[in-house]
């Protein structure tokens, strides 16, 4: 079960052994569904129920503004969550993304103010890759648990940010702000960027040897090692990719905000929120199982919930309660499905 082929990511139901499917069919009608289908089904139900609730309240959930709003609001989290999916699939996790996003937004805005957009993008990529490299090396070579390693790196970045910046800095030129504000019909450019990142990750996971190795390492590192996978390299590369995603999210937020902001990552709670979105999308926190498609569903589900609450003007404290319950219930459902199939 742990060394499941990569194809399980996108089509878990088909990939499930026939025996499990039969058993599932007799036990529960839902057991046929993979977790990706479950999360998209939940998304659909949320949209329908939300639409009805908002309609009763006298509003309309599916206006152009809200549809655009849902996408704008989920793009940054979505991009981070794609990276987090890779890390979690490989049996790791990354708590440093929130601070890295802030750092990336500042690096981007400062260099753009100096005049170079490509230079800024390159610098953000370099900085995030470096942070990812440090995360990966500390985890693999120094044998520090991912939780502590990335928490430590997060603190290091926080210290540097606090030391260097005391508020928004830099300036993003008009040309780069198109990324954050333009849209084609109802689809914002930011959502396209998210889709591109997600497709790339999906491609890496399902069509390359790297993807196979990530699943193997996340499933059982010892087995992976014995079967010839260089587990350390896989984990380091995964953390570099995860940090790159955070860097891209930082670029996107810089373009939205028109400046670099040292608190944008933590205010958005991108660290824990991205982990929550990933597991909501059906990826197992222990690693080895799950995929990008589910994560996209998880992020959209959180964003639609947010939008419904926004429309109904529910206060933020109630939102937190609902989100907490939704996340735990979803993971409990996945756990139950796994044990029955």
**Binds another protein by CB under 8 A, chosen from 103, 123, 124, 138:** 138
Indicate which single residue of 3, 10, 129, 183 sits in contact with another protein (rule: CB under 8 A): 183
CB of 159 to another protein, least distance (A): 3
Residue 18 binding another protein, by CB under 8 A: no
Q: Which of 259, 292, 296, 308 binds another protein (CB under 8 A)?
A: 259
**Tokens describing residue 186:** 């109802």
Based on CB atoms, which residue is closest to another protein, 18 or 313? 313
Query: Within 278-297, which residues bind another protein (CB under 8 A)?
Result: 279, 284-287
Rule CB under 8 A: choose which of 147, 175, 227, 340 binds another protein: 147
Specify the 3-state DSSP secondary structure of 169. Answer: strand
Report the nearest approach of another protein to the CB of residue 25 (Å): 22
Please tell me whether residue 189 binds another protein under the rule CB under 8 A.
Answer: yes
> Residues binding another protein: what is the number (CB under 8 A)?
107
Token digits for 340? 């029955």
Question: Do residues 111 and 311 make contact, with C-beta atoms less than 8 angstroms apart?
Answer: no
**Per CB under 8 A, does 28 bind another protein?**
no
In whole angstroms, the minimum distance from the beta carbon of 72 to another protein comes to 5
Q: For helices 35-56 and 292-312, give the axis angle rounded to 10 degrees.
A: 10
Query: Are the C-beta atoms of residues 61 and 54 closer than 8 Å to each other?
Result: yes
CB burial class (10 A; 0-12, 13-18, 19+) of residue 151? Answer: middle
User: How far is it, in rounded angstroms, from Cα 296 to Cα 39?
Assistant: 9
Q: Distance between alpha carbon 171 and the CA centroid of its chain, in Å?
A: 27
* 177: Cβ contacts below 8 Å, ≥ 6 apart: 255, 256, 258
Among 196, 209, 227, 340, binds another protein (CB under 8 A): 196
Q: Determine, following the binding rule CB under 8 A, whether residue 169 of this chain makes contact with another protein.
A: yes
Q: Which residue of 78, 83, 91, 211 would you call a contact of another protein, by CB under 8 A?
A: 91
Compute the distance between CA of residue 138 and CA of residue 130 in angstroms, rounded to an integer. Answer: 12
Task: For the segment 67-86, give every residue that binds another protein (CB under 8 A).
Answer: 68-69, 72-73, 76
Polymer length in residues for the chain: 341
- Out of 6, 262, 281, 298, the only residue in the binding site for another protein (CB under 8 A) is 262
Is residue 221 involved in binding another protein (CB under 8 A)?
Answer: yes
Among 45, 62, 328, 340, binds another protein (CB under 8 A): 328
**Span interacting with another protein, options 27-35, 60-68, 115-123, 125-133, rule CB under 8 A:** 60-68
Q: By CB under 8 A, is residue 171 in contact with another protein?
A: yes
Q: Is 228 left (phi over 0), alpha (psi -120 to 50) or beta?
A: left
Q: Which of 213, 236, 246 is nearest to 142 (CA)?
A: 236
């Amino acid at each position: 079960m742990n060394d499941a082929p990569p194809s399980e990511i996108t089509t878990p139901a088909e990939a499930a052994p026939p025996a499990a499917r039969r058993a599932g069919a007799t036990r529960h009608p839902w057991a046929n569904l993979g977790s990706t289908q479950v999360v998209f089904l939940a998304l659909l139900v949320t949209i329908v129920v939300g639409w009805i609730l908002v309609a009763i309240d006298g509003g309309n959930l599916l206006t152009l503004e809200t549809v655009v709003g849902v996408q704008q609001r989920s793009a940054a989290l979505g991009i981070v969550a794609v990276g987090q999916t890779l890390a979690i699939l490989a049996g790791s996790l990354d708590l440093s993304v929130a601070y890295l996003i802030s750092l990336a937004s500042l690096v981007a805005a400062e260099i753009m103010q100096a005049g170079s957009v490509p230079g800024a993008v390159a610098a953000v990529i370099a900085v995030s890759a470096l942070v990812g490299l440090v995360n990966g090396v500390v985890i693999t070579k120094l044998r520090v648990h991912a939780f502590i390693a990335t928490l430590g790196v997060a603190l290091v970045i926080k210290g540097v940010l606090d030391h260097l910046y005391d508020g928004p800095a830099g300036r993003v030129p008009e040309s780069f702000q198109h990324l954050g504000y333009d849209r084609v019909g109802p689809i914002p450019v930011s959502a396209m960027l998210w889709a591109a990142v997600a497709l790339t990750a999906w491609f890496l996971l399902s069509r390359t040897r790297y993807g196979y190795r990530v699943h193997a390492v996340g499933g059982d590192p010892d087995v992976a090692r014995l079967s010839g996978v260089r587990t350390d390299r896989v984990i380091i590369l995964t953390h570099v990719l995860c940090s790159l995603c955070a860097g891209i999210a930082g670029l996107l937020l810089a373009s939205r905000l028109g400046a670099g902001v040292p608190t944008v990552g933590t205010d958005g709670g991108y660290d824990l929120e991205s982990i929550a979105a990933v597991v909501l999308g059906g990826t197992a926190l222990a690693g080895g199982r799950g995929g990008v498609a589910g994560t996209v569903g998880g992020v959209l589900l959180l964003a639609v919930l947010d939008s419904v609450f926004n429309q109904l003007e529910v206060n933020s404290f109630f939102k937190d309660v609902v989100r907490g319950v939704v996340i735990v219930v979803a993971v409990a459902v996945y756990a139950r499905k796994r044990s029955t199939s």
